[in-house]
Amino acid sequence: MTDTLNATRTSIDMYTPAQTCDQLVVSEAALLDLVNSGRLGAHNLGGNIRFKVADVHATAAELAAA
């Protein structure tokens, strides 16, 4: 059964908050504003906040276009 469960899991690349700030070139306060405004989704994984790499890249493109 465990092998079946492991076979169906997908890997999603995630950034830590510090990595996300580096990628977006923003402060932690600005990152929090992006999350609170709904412009960037955050995920709580066992008490650790993480950001999907694809979401961070999309947000970076959005910020660059602004």
**pLDDT per residue of the chain (66 residues) written in tens, 0 to 9:** 445 555 555 677 999 999 999 999 999 999 999 999 999 999 999 999 999 999 999 999 999 998
pLDDT at 21: 98
pTM as predicted: 0.81
Q: Among the CATH numbers 3.10.20.30, 1.10.1660.10, 3.40.50.1360, 1.20.1640.10, which is that of 12-65? A: 1.10.1660.10
* Ranges of each domain in the chain: 12-65
DSSP E strand boundaries for the chain: 14-15, 43-45, 48-52
> Whole-angstrom Cα distance, residue 56 to residue 29?
16
